[in-house]
Amino acid sequence: MDRLSTTRLRFAFARVCAALYAASTLIVMAGPRETVIVFFNSVLHGIDITPIMRWEMPWWEMIVGVLEVFIIGWLYGMAIAIFYNLGRAKE
């Protein structure tokens, strides 16, 4: 494989990022408060997330958040593919 497809990689990154964001939002909405705090503290290597947690989130904010993270993942995947392909062109 000489080159990465920028279209495929950017949509792959975008889907993964959006799925992770949606999963973390559902964990916050469905889980007990103390369990959620312990879970995210362990995921973030002991960083105390208690002061920044939001426990009430309207459904439309979750959708906007998923769209924003999808766009960020899309841009990130595009950048990786472009820089990878630029590096491969010099060989």
The model's pLDDT over 6-42, given as tens digits with 9 standing for 90+, comes to 889 999 999 999 999 999 988 888 889 999 999 889 9
Q: Could you give the CA distance from residue 40 to residue 50 in angstroms, rounded to a whole number?
A: 9
Give me the pLDDT at residue 89, please. Answer: 63
Q: What is the mean pLDDT of the chain?
A: 88
- 40 or 88: which leads in pLDDT: 40
Note whether 14 and 85 are within 8 A (CB). no
pLDDT tier at 74 (50, 70, 90 boundaries)? very high
Q: What is the mean pLDDT of residues 65-91?
A: 88
Give me the pLDDT at residue 91, please. Answer: 57
